[in-house]
Amino acid sequence: MKKTIFSKAIAILGSIAMLAGAAACGQSNDSTKATTDGNGLKKVTFMLSWAPDTNHIGVYVAKNKGYFKQVGLDVDIVAVAQAGAEQAVNNGMADFALSNLTNAGMYTTKGAKIKQVMQVQQKPSAIWCSLASNKDIKSPKDFDGKTFATFGSNESDAVIRRMIQTDGGKGEFDKVTVGTSTFQTLSSGKADFGGFYATWEGVQASMYGPKLNCFTEPDYGVPGNADTIGIITSNKTISSNPTLVRKFVQATKKGYEYAYSHPDDAAAILVKEAPDANLKLDFVKKSMKTIVNGQYWGDPAKIKDGSFTFGTNDTAGAQKYFDFLAEENAYTDSHDKVIHTAPVAKDISTDEFLK
């Protein structure tokens, strides 16, 4: 099971303090250097943001189909660093990574210089669930007084509190830190509810169990788009090597577009290209079917007629969510002091490399 984005914020507090330190040590995979392989291709590092899954699928497709080679790139897909992909990109340890605008915003409030250059997911996929066997929970207000399986982030606390209150509850709950997986924590009885993604764990639960009873953020008062999943790089790379960024974004965009149009073939590519993940083909196919049917990556009709450019950053949706988090005191600086001003989505994203 993948490591969810909900776990990312717990790494932010510990890793940001290391941002300047690692860079000062000179441990850098500087994108401005003309490092090439034996075939004359520019070597580039893309870092996963958790275990390989369908959020990463376009990068695997782009590599498998030769889209990167066509633009002169040799892309190495690497496992996520312990401190997080965002820190690795900020310090130059990776050229690109999968993240989202929410995480980019969290990191920039603590001093990181990163930017999202392409947004894959265009609407929220987070689901907040109890086991279907737990008959005490029928809607979010029933989370009141129950135990939340959390990864420790202020963000998820704010979301759960708002959902409960919107549904008529007080917004008060206990918490337990997830040690293995949220599924196991709920099944063991150590917690009553937790966070998942409809496009991955939701599919897992429907195929293999345990069955879940789930609620979505937009239905219960959480504004904007929390799941603006996309590709990030450093401000330094953008300014010093925009040609590299454009090549990577264009090839990656092509990979995701192929996956959106050929979901079954893309699923087979992911299973083949990420053998260590031990992914089941039927499961990955159903995940992609969920993405396509739910139009999570955008309306195919609008993509086809050109009224929507695949990969466009949803800065309006992201800003609404940022402002909500700021209202809920979810932002802190590198000294863990609450910041009341939200990040500006337009400042930490750009669409300039999509065309």
Judgement on whether residues 89 and 203 belong to the same structural domain of the protein: no
Interval 78-98: pLDDT, tens? 999 998 999 999 999 999 999
CATH number of 339's domain: 3.40.190.10
Three-state SS for the chain is CCCCHHHHHHHHHHHHCCHHHHHHCCCCCCCCCCCECCCCCEEEEEECCCCCCCCCHHHHHHHHCCHHHHCCEEEEEECCCCCCHHHHHHCCCCCEEEEEHHHHHHHHCCCCCEEEEEECCCCCCEEEEEECCCCCCCCHHHHCCCEEEECCCHHHHHHHHHHHHHCCCCCCCEEEECCCCHHHHHHCCCCCEEEEECCCHHHHHHHHCCCEEEEECHHHCCCCCCCCEEEEEEHHHHHHCHHHHHHHHHHHHHHHHHHHHCHHHHHHHHHHHCHHHCCCHHHHHHHHHHHHHCCCCCCHHHHHHCCCCCCCCCHHHHHHHHHHHHHCCCCECCCCCECCCCCCHHHHECCCCCC
Residue 21 pLDDT = 40
Residue 227 pLDDT exceeds 70: yes
- The percent of residues above 90 in pLDDT, for the chain, comes to 85
Of 162, 187, 219, the residue that ends a domain is 219
Name the domain boundary from 184, 200, 219: 219
90, 234 contact by CB (below 8 A): yes
Whether residue 18 lies inside any domain: the answer is no
Tens digit of each residue's pLDDT (9 = 90 or more) over 163-213 = 999 999 999 999 999 877 899 999 999 999 999 999 999 999 999 999 999
Tokens of 348: 């930490």
> Which whole-number Å values give the CA distances from 263 to 162, 255, 266, 281, in the listed order?
35, 11, 5, 11
pLDDT value of position 151: 85
**Average confidence (pLDDT) over 259-281:** 98
Query: Does residue 207 lie within any of the structural domains?
Result: yes
The structure's pTM equals: 0.91
- Token pair of 238, please? 């953008």
Q: Do residues 251 and 334 both lie within one domain?
A: yes
| Cis before 210? omega within 30 | yes
Task: Please provide residue 332's backbone torsions phi and psi, each rounded to the nearest 5 degrees.
Answer: -135, 155
Looking at the structure, do residues 135 and 113 belong to the same domain, yes or no?
Answer: no
Answer yes or no: do 292 and 331 share one domain.
yes
Q: The sheet that has 174-177: what strands, in order across it?
A: 174-177, 147-150, 193-197, 126-131, 212-216
Residue 231 sits in the same domain as residue 342: yes
Domain contains 191: yes
Read off the pLDDT of each residue in 51-60 and give the average, rounded to a whole number: 98
Model confidence at 9, pLDDT cuts 50, 70, 90, reads: very low
For residue 9, tell me if it sits in a domain. Answer: no
Among 164, 180, 143, which residue's Cα sits nearest to residue 7? Answer: 180
Q: Is residue 169 part of a domain?
A: yes
- Residue that finishes a domain, picked among 173, 203, 219: 219
Range of the domain at 209: 126-219
Model pLDDT for residues 306-326, shown as the tens digit of each residue: 999 999 999 999 999 999 999
Number of folded domains in the chain? 2
